[in-house]
């Protein structure tokens, strides 16, 4: 995760000063133990200022509104009580090249500050501290006792002390090329590392961007640089310092996706409107990615363990059924014994009799402590026991197999999203988690799951807006909708589908519901039907096969049995096509370009 360095923080502060000062503080809300949101209103706009002291992602920027959830944190309540209704009038840096800012609050923009909110973006030492006008600490995100730090304790009632001064050489436009080169090349080594070691306030991300803008290899050694290389790099160095001085930032994404960003315009693949949007998108993407990995692992392990136990139980039931298949044999042996009582002799451990059906000799084991009738009765009892066991075990095995089928359907939904790409991927996992909580497979200690409340039927447009189906366009211009999980499968089949659409699903194989959207009177071509069947095969558990049987029918022929688990349906009047996952993979790759 790319940390917010001094350059990025300067860009954020410059944008806040130009667009958001002065602003009235209307509300304070703390989303989690590391992130605070402050609602600001100016004469022209309203927005949320995100302030985070997260050890790996401390930051300060405007952000989308936080999710609506109860705020139970004392820190935010104290800030709300003191700052609510006041004006944010100034955002000042505590000292040159320091990643700490003083947010000042007053009754009116032209009045002196009543409160100071110090935001210190310093990695694991990040903090947010509220003080009075005379620098007395009222509250802090992290209290630091004298036992924890004798240099800079942070405690309520104490005087605020600024972070220790930065040690080391600070970058300066006044520094000559010779001095800069001598300092950077003093110790031979990796250029990026030598630049970061030689100058305080320079982050690794900025060093990489400067080296890139000078058209140098990222891992180049200082000894391999020519005079022209040093000159180009020094020019880029000075351009960076001028950008900071003039506050002429150019925010944008670097590389593919949202893996990295810049605010100085180096290596930009996609420019962004402003640095606030850039940081909001970047850190939302990063935290979504982390939450996705955590949730995916949790769900995968839970399903794996549960399915292993269910399959073991199914094997046990199947073994008992196999044994019960011998019940008729024990009855036949008992009948044979009763018909030949005269052949029995005391103390016999086995007896050989002629079978009624085949006429072949049959050897029956006997209990020498019992007579012939008692041995026959024992065989009758065993027959009845196994017969009753079959009657009892068959519904249990059927129930276990239904549960296995359901969990395999859920597992397939997880397999379809192995990594995070878009927010819909995370929402899909959250829907799966909520479903498993509702079905009793997961506990919900934090109360995150809220069951749906009946609120009347939504319109089709509203349903489409709420549900993040996968969507693809066929060459003929028809839309394919694919459910990401059981919840979306049911939405797609029972709420989205019209009488003119066609519904596809891999035959007797866990997978997604696929809907081919059609208008009245529209007839899809054979190629379109084949493509839809291939997509259904691709988004199924059998996607590694060359061909997969896929059923399709009108949505009105698809039903959810009473008491069925989520996503489990039955259908009638189906037709069968052989889907080709490879064909669908090529189509999906093309449509994603």
Spatial contact of 404 and 397, defined as CB atoms under 8 Å apart: no
Q: Please check whether residues 508 and 388 belong to one and the same domain.
A: no
CATH number of the structural domain spanning residue 250: 1.10.8
Flag whether the pTM goes above 0.85.
no
Q: Please check whether residues 584 and 504 belong to one and the same domain.
A: yes
Identify the pLDDT of residue 457. 38
CB-count burial class (<10 Å; 0-12, 13-18, 19+) for 273: exposed
Average per-residue pLDDT in the chain? 90
pLDDT tens digit sequence for 341-382: 888 888 899 988 888 888 888 888 999 989 989 988 988 887
Q: Please check whether residues 240 and 123 belong to one and the same domain.
A: no
Q: Please check whether residues 587 and 466 belong to one and the same domain.
A: yes
Instruction: Assess if residue 167 is contained within a domain.
Output: no
Q: How far apart are CA 163 and CA 423, in angstroms?
A: 38
145-154, 438-447, 456-465, 528-537, range with the lowest pLDDT: 456-465
Strand partners, 426: none
Instruction: Assess if residue 291 is contained within a domain.
Output: no
Q: Please check whether residues 213 and 330 belong to one and the same domain.
A: no
Q: What are phi and psi of 370, to 5 degrees?
A: -115, 155
CATH number of the structural domain spanning residue 18: 2.30.310.10
pLDDT tens digit sequence for 199-231: 999 999 999 999 999 999 989 999 999 999 999
Q: Please check whether residues 17 and 127 belong to one and the same domain.
A: yes
Domain boundary among 272, 306, 333: 272
Q: Would the pLDDT of 326 be above 80? A: no
Where residue 194 falls among pLDDT bands split at 50, 70, 90? Answer: very high
CA-to-CA separations, 205 to 212, 390, 418, in angstroms, rounded: 11, 69, 29
Residues 6+ apart with CB under 8 A from 371: 344, 346
Q: How far apart are CA 367 and CA 378, in angstroms?
A: 10
Single out the residue of 218, 214, 262 nearest to residue 239, CA to CA.
Answer: 214
Instruction: Assess if residue 300 is contained within a domain.
Output: no
Q: Please check whether residues 12 and 132 belong to one and the same domain.
A: yes
Q: Would the pLDDT of 566 be above 70? A: yes
Domain count, the chain: 4
Identify the pLDDT of residue 330. 76
**What torsion, rounded to 10 degrees, do the Cα atoms 425, 427, 429, 435 define?**
-150
Instruction: Assess if residue 352 is contained within a domain.
Output: yes
Identify the pLDDT of residue 303. 94
Domain boundary among 140, 162, 186: 140
Q: Please check whether residues 583 and 468 belong to one and the same domain.
A: yes
Give the pLDDT mean for 526-553. Answer: 95
Identify the pLDDT of residue 455. 38
Single out the residue of 276, 282, 289, 506 nearest to residue 409, CA to CA.
Answer: 506
pLDDT tens digit sequence for 249-272: 999 999 887 889 999 999 898 999
Single out the residue of 471, 322, 480 nearest to residue 386, CA to CA.
Answer: 322
Strand partners, 363: 352
Domain boundary among 408, 442, 469: 408
Identify the pLDDT of residue 593. 63
Where residue 447 falls among pLDDT bands split at 50, 70, 90? Answer: low
Q: Please check whether residues 124 and 181 belong to one and the same domain.
A: no
pLDDT tens digit sequence for 376-429: 898 888 778 877 778 888 899 999 999 999 999 999 999 988 899 888 999 999
Instruction: Assess if residue 441 is contained within a domain.
Output: no
User: Over pLDDT 70: what percentage of the chain?
Assistant: 96
Identify the pLDDT of residue 467. 67
Where residue 9 falls among pLDDT bands split at 50, 70, 90? Answer: very high
Instruction: Assess if residue 224 is contained within a domain.
Output: yes
Identify the pLDDT of residue 25. 96
Q: Please check whether residues 229 and 328 belong to one and the same domain.
A: no
Q: Please check whether residues 132 and 193 belong to one and the same domain.
A: no
Domain with 555 in it: 460-592
Q: Please check whether residues 474 and 387 belong to one and the same domain.
A: no
Instruction: Assess if residue 376 is contained within a domain.
Output: yes
């Amino acid at each position: 995760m790319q940390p917010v360095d001094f350059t990025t923080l300067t860009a954020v502060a410059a944008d806040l000063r130009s667009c958001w000062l002065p602003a009235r503080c209307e509300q304070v809300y703390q989303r989690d133990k590391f992130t605070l949101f402050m609602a600001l209103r100016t004469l022209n706009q309203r927005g949320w200022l995100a302030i985070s002291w997260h050890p790996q992602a401390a930051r300060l920027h405007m952000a989308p509104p936080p999710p609506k959830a109860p705020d139970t944190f004392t820190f935010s309540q104290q800030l709300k009580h003191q700052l609510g209704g006041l004006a944010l009038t100034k955002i000042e840096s505590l000292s040159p090249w320091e990643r700490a800012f003083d947010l000042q609050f007053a009754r009116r923009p032209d009045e002196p500050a009543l409160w100071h909110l110090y935001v210190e973006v310093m990695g694991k030492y990040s903090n947010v501290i509220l003080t009075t006008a005379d620098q007395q600490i009222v509250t802090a995100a992290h209290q630091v006792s004298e036992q924890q730090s004798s240099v800079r304790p942070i405690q309520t009632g104490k005087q605020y002390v600024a972070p220790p001064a930065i040690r080391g050489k600070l970058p300066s436009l006044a520094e000559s090329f010779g001095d800069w080169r001598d300092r950077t090349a003093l110790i031979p080594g990796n250029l990026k590392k030598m630049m970061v070691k030689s100058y305080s306030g320079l982050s690794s991300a900025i060093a990489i961007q400067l080296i890139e803008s000078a058209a140098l290899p990222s891992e180049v050694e200082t000894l391999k640089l020519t005079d022209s290389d040093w000159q180009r790099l020094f020019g880029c160095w000075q351009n960076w310092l001028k950008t900071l001085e003039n506050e002429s930032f150019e925010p944008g994404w670097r590389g593919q996706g949202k893996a990295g960003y810049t605010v100085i315009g180096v290596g930009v693949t996609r420019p962004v409107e402003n640095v606030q949007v850039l940081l909001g998108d970047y850190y939302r993407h990063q935290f979504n990615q982390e939450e996705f990995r955590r949730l995916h692992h949790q769900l995968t392990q839970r399903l794996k363990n549960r399915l292993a136990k269910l399959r073991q139980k199914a094997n046990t039931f199947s073994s008992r059924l196999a044994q019960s298949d011998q019940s008729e044999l024990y009855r036949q042996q008992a009948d044979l014994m009763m018909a030949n009582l005269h052949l029995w002799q005391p103390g016999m451990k086995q007896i050989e009799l002629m079978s009624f059906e085949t006429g072949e000799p049959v050897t029956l084991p006997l209990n020498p402590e019992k007579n012939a009738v008692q041995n026959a009765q024992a065989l009758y009892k065993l027959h009845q026991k196994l017969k009753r066991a079959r009657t009892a075990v068959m519904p249990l095995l059927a129930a276990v197999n239904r549960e296995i089928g359901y969990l395999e359907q859920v597992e397939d939904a997880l397999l379809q999203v192995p990594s995070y790409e878009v927010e819909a991927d995370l929402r899909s996992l959250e829907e799966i988690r909520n479903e498993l909580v509702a079905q009793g497979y997961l506990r919900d200690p934090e109360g995150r799951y809220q069951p749906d409340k009946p609120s009347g039927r939504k319109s089709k447009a509203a349903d489409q807006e709420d549900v993040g189906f996968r969507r693809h366009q066929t060459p003929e211009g028809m839309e394919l909708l694919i459910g990401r999980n059981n919840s979306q499968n049911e939405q797609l089949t029972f709420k989205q589908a019209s009488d003119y659409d066609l519904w596809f699903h891999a035959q007797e194989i866990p997978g997604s519901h696929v809907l081919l959207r059609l208008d009245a009177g529209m007839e899809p071509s054979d190629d379109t039907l084949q493509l839809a069947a291939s997509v259904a095969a691709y988004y199924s558990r059998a996607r590694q096969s060359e061909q997969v049987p896929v059923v399709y029918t009108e949505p009105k022929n698809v039903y959810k049995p009473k008491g069925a688990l989520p996503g489990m349906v039955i259908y009638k009047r189906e037709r069968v096509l052989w889907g080709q996952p490879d064909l669908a993979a090529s189509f999906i790759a093309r449509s994603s370009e």
